[in-house]
Chain A
Amino acid sequence: MRQGTKTGAGRFASGVFAQGCALICAGVAVAAADSTNRLALLEQKLNNHVRCASSGREDGADVMAFNIARSFSSAECAAVTLDGYPANFIVEAGVAAAYMHRKDWTNAIAHGELALAFRSGEGMGGAPERASRLLLDLARAYSSAAVRRYDKADDYREWARELDPHNAQIAQTLALDDVARARRNGREDEAEHILRAAIAAHGFAKRIVYQELGNQLWDTRRGRDAFAMWLAQLKDVRLDFHEDSKELGIDNLRKTMTLADEALLLQCAAVLRALPARYPATLKFAPFIGELQSIANDPRIEDELLMRTAAHEYTPAMEQALRAFMATHKPVPGRVFLYLGDNLCARGRPDEAIDMWLEGMAAPGHRAGDDGADWFAARIIDQFAKASSAQVSRCVFYLERQCAGQAPARMRLGLGEQLERLGQPDRALRLWCDALAAQPRPYLQTQNGDWFMMKLDARLATMTPQQKAHYADIIGAQIEKWRTNSLYHTVVPLLDAKRTSLLR
């Protein structure tokens, strides 16, 4: 037999051997593949449970997730890899996530660190996002109130950033962490800058980034900007077909609607109106589309828009619209009277305008603003020269009866002057005396003293002795009010001298 040739039996034997080897190899390969698949399945279940537990959808899901992870931690799969990571890394990272959910930071850190140790033993291969996610979790655990190891947390954040530099989602999560740190250090400006940069960066900005920035603007009393940001969020961010208006942040818009200007309100109305069209028109989404349509048709937006337009548009059509609004809305908001009065005044009907403002003043809910400004009063005073005696009387009536003690000083000063002009100086003096008496203390706005006292002092020559005595009594009462004030020793001698001179 020549070398290199085989008999039939030899060929058969070598064939059997080769097939046997192939079967054994295939068996080993299949077993390893099955373990990997089982690991993948368990990981998927684990993630689902942790997700359910995080969103509060399933009671005890975190315990279940924990048990699943624990049950899988066996030696049989020590050599199995998934996504480039050993099974132990996957399991320990899962356990850490479960502990994170329970806010058991110490155990979360322990298992997270263990997972990292498995990972470093396997080299740097694998999906970077898995390691980055674990590092971010660990950073959160380290920066928790219970642990407070901020230096370690910062190290892990940097590590996560280096591991996956192109990942926009991780960049946004890191940005939110940076914002929290900046706020912790009292650097609100830096936090705002980081959030704005995260929104402007490439990728799909998360809804929470917009909401964080909106909240910050709201907290810093920039209501209009906050409204604009919440609106931008609704417009720019992917819907992902969420079916909850709270998740979409519509409530924030409704809450701050009164702070927006006309342009923003118009934009808001357009965005809300278009919202139902952003969902597939199927039966599944029908209820939510209906809800969105009712939100878009919310009359408050239209009303706000009407008010914004009425503030600057003085046309007959607007007058009609405002009157129609008054007919359908009870009680009528004060600003409707204000804008309608402005409208009439601007179109050469001051008489009707004053009536309208007076009506606004008389409205049940009307109060002067916190800062003492009363827009009705200001407007009526501006037009006092054109007011009839009946209107002045009405104004006095409201001030004396309804708005006693609340009417702003400027209103009372102007009204007194108007009463003098109409030949009722005694009434004017009584008004100013009452105003002076109603004040907590005489204001010292000018070098000469209080505005009302100036008015009264200027008319001392025409005052009757009874009026002077009344004026002196008021000053006496004011001196008592000053007793508890630190300026007592400066002011009281002046007031006392004035009272003495009046009684002389």
Chain B
Amino acid sequence: MRWHSKVIILVVINWMACAPAVMTNTALFARVAPITQALRAEVWTTVVARSSAALDKNAAQLHMPLLDAVPLGYYLNLWQGQALRHAGNAVIDAPSALRAAEAWLYQGDRNMACSGAWAELYYEMGQTYRGIGRLYDAERYLQASAAMAATLTQTWLRARLGLVSVDMRRSRYRPAFVAMTNVWAKPALRTKEVHYLYAMTLLSQRRDMDAYDALVAGLTRFGVAPRLAERDPLYRAFLDLLGRASDAHIKAFYAVLGVQLETMALRAGAEHTAALFINQRTILAQCYPYLQHEDDLRPLAERATGAGSGGDDMTFGGGDELLDDVAIEEL
């Protein structure tokens, strides 16, 4: 063997010894890929069905580590619990699934189980309990999650925001405001949820103009999620206390909806959101005379027609829903 071959072999051995902390099991990953896809798309019923099926069919592999020595069983139960929280029995089934995930962490190699898994689990538990009104339990788990997660990471931030939400639910507005002010001070952390919660805490402190600044900033940066449409938190918050907004904020809101309407992808399933934006802008223009009412439907229809001749996924599904919803304009 030549000397340079020896060097290469040594380098490879050295590289293997210093392998990155995140070790993944590629074969298992391929198996759970459909679940993670459904999870990303937030199709909760699918996640519940697929994770339950995976837990039943892969009993022999559940103890195998999927990521960072954390067993597959943990992830399946965690995802199942997360999905059940959104689309199932959040009082009984979701906590049970999360308890099962916790049991997997206890059974696994505790030295190897990274803190991220614990932080994630406790975050899910906290959110589940918050959803069903067990606020004290929620607070405890969210505090544990924030303590275990690495500072300034997404998990840490979500846990902190969860704690603020708990405070808001408990009508403890002052501590919530202080916590959100600290989070807001770090521009890198300003997610959509941060904008929403910061605005709500500002509103609770009667700082209406700052609150609407935050809401407008959030809407400008992130827009209204087409998937959520009228359930989008920023959108709902803006409408709920619209009486306290200034004319400038209302104009900005109107413009943001217009821009989003112009730039939204016209694919099947987007009719409802498009109709919502059009109707909301129409009603806003009716209610606030200083807003210039524009015909939003025509350019959108032109875009849809033009795109329809070009490609399949750029057309509206049927159009009936859009017309039905737009009928609100006649009110």
Q: Is the CB of A278 within 8 A of B243?
A: yes
Q: How far is the CB of B216 from chain A (nearest CB, A)?
A: 16
The stretch of A162-170, A373-381, A431-439 in contact with B is A162-170
Chain B residues near A273: list those with CB within 8 A: 287
A439 and B153 CA atoms in complex are apart in Å by: 89
The stretch of B40-48, B66-74, B274-282, B298-306 in contact with A is B274-282
Query: Known contacts A202-B204, A282-B276, A289-B283: does B92 contact A41 (CB below 8 Å)?
Result: yes
Q: Is the CB of A83 within 8 A of B240?
A: no
Q: How far is the CB of B180 from chain A (nearest CB, A)?
A: 14
Cβ of B227 under 8 Å from chain A = no
Q: Which of under 10, 10 to 19, 20 to 34, or 35 or more describes the interface residues of B?
A: 35 or more
A275 and B229 CA atoms in complex are apart in Å by: 20
Q: Is the CB of A168 within 8 A of B280?
A: no
A167 and B240 CA atoms in complex are apart in Å by: 22
A455 and B243 CA atoms in complex are apart in Å by: 61
Q: Is the CB of A202 within 8 A of B173?
A: yes
Chain A residues near B92: list those with CB within 8 A: 34, 37-38, 40-41
Cβ of A129 under 8 Å from chain B = yes
Q: Is the CB of A40 within 8 A of B240?
A: no
Chain B residues near A166: list those with CB within 8 A: 172-175
Which residues of A from 1 to 60 have beta carbons under 8 Å from B? Answer: 22, 26, 29-30, 33-34, 36-38, 40-41, 44, 47
Q: Is the CB of B171 within 8 A of A168?
A: yes
Cβ of A259 under 8 Å from chain B = no
Chain A residues near B288: list those with CB within 8 A: 274, 277
Q: How far is the CB of A387 from chain B (nearest CB, A)?
A: 45
Q: Is the CB of A276 within 8 A of B287?
A: yes
Chain A residues near B240: list those with CB within 8 A: 238-241, 278
Cβ of B239 under 8 Å from chain A = yes
A117 and B217 CA atoms in complex are apart in Å by: 51
Which residues of A from 103 to 139 have beta carbons under 8 Å from B? Answer: 126-127, 129-130
Q: Is the CB of A83 within 8 A of B137?
A: yes
A168 and B92 CA atoms in complex are apart in Å by: 31
Which of A26, A126, A169 touches B171 (beta carbons < 8 Å)? A169
Q: Is the CB of B328 within 8 A of A83?
A: no
Q: Nearest B residue to A231 by beta-carbon distance? A: B243
Q: Is the CB of A40 within 8 A of B243?
A: no
Query: Known contacts A30-B99, A293-B331: does B235 contact A83 (CB below 8 Å)?
Result: no
A277 and B279 CA atoms in complex are apart in Å by: 10
- The total of chain A residues at the interface (CB under 8 A) is 53
Which of B91, B204, B276, B331 touches A204 (beta carbons < 8 Å)? B204
Which of A26, A83, A239 touches B103 (beta carbons < 8 Å)? A26
Question: Would you give the 0/1 interface string for B163-176, flagging 1 where the beta carbon is closer than 8 Å to chain A?
Answer: 00000001111110
Cβ of B95 under 8 Å from chain A = yes
Cβ of A286 under 8 Å from chain B = yes
Cβ of B267 under 8 Å from chain A = no
Q: Nearest B residue to A281 by beta-carbon distance? A: B279
Query: Known contacts A166-B174, A202-B173, A204-B203: does B241 contact A238 (CB below 8 Å)?
Result: yes
Cβ of A482 under 8 Å from chain B = no
Which residues of B from 210 to 263 have beta carbons under 8 Å from A? Answer: 229-230, 235-236, 239-244
A36 and B135 CA atoms in complex are apart in Å by: 14
A330 and B95 CA atoms in complex are apart in Å by: 68
A289 and B286 CA atoms in complex are apart in Å by: 12
A269 and B88 CA atoms in complex are apart in Å by: 45
Q: Is the CB of A282 within 8 A of B230?
A: yes
A468 and B129 CA atoms in complex are apart in Å by: 97
